[in-house]
Structure 1
Amino acid sequence: MKEALKQIFNLVDRFERNIEAYRSPAYNETQLRREFIDPFFEALGWDVTNKAGYAEQYKDVIHEDAIKVAGATKAPD
């Protein structure tokens, strides 16, 4: 648990040091997920990238594809 807290504190520290860049409209949801959200859940023990090699129905995290709605490509919520 101490290692998880250390990793999470490091994420918070990095975010605070670079907060203006992360508030920029150029910083998108995918970047946020890859740099902060995925590492956060990995620190908590989740297998975000399926390192265990589980079949789709047994993965800790399932990444959803974008879909077309009314002619526009939308990302799932």
Structure 2
Amino acid sequence: MIDKKKLKENIKRLIEKYELSKKSFSISKYSEEETKKDFILPLFASLGWDVTNKNEVTAEESQSSGRVDYGFYLEGRIKFYLEAKSLKTDLHREEYANQAIRYSWNKGVTWAVLTDFESIKVFNVQDISKKLGDKLFLKFLIHSILKG
């Protein structure tokens, strides 16, 4: 069971680090790898995922359409694939959503997550014939986690 108080404290620290990076203009220097290491993996670790256990979180899984950044597993079964982008990336570009969706669809996985840490988009990819906007299940900014 996740301790909600500790969860909020951890996320608050990540957000403060992110805000400092924004204020110092170093956000534009963050690569995708640095974003994953400094923000995305710590976020999912705070949410209870063991990001150091390859049976729970895999990195760079090979697929026919490329390599997905992370696969998240519970009891040996894939739950979702996550496509990470750098802090400076504009997640509104359709190509990024399509990339995340394609990775999950190709492996028969229902859920796809796209994030640059600040923004998180969750897609239900069961019906590939649906328009992109209809696949978007949930979208939120990381700051909103602290409000709940």
**TM value normalised by structure 2:** 0.38
SS of corresponding position for 2:58: coil
Question: Are 2:4 and 1:8 aligned?
Answer: no
Question: Are 2:43 and 1:40 aligned?
Answer: yes
| 1:45 CA displacement | 0.8
CA RMSD of aligned residues (A): 2.1
| 1:27 CA displacement | 1.6
**Structure number with higher relative contact order (C-alpha < 8 Å, ≥ 6 residues apart):** 1
**TM value normalised by structure 1:** 0.68
Q: Percent identity?
A: 32
Show structure 1 runs of 5+ residues with no match: 51-55
Show structure 2 runs of 5+ residues with no match: 69-82, 84-148
**Greater percentage in helix:** 1
Q: What is aligned with 1:64? A: 60
Corresponding residue to 1:21 among 17, 26, 45: 26
**Greater percentage in strand:** 2
SS of corresponding position for 2:57: coil
Q: How many residues align?
A: 63
Q: Residue deviations 1:23-69, cap 9 Å, x none?
A: x1x3200000000000000011100011xxxxx5xx221111578x8
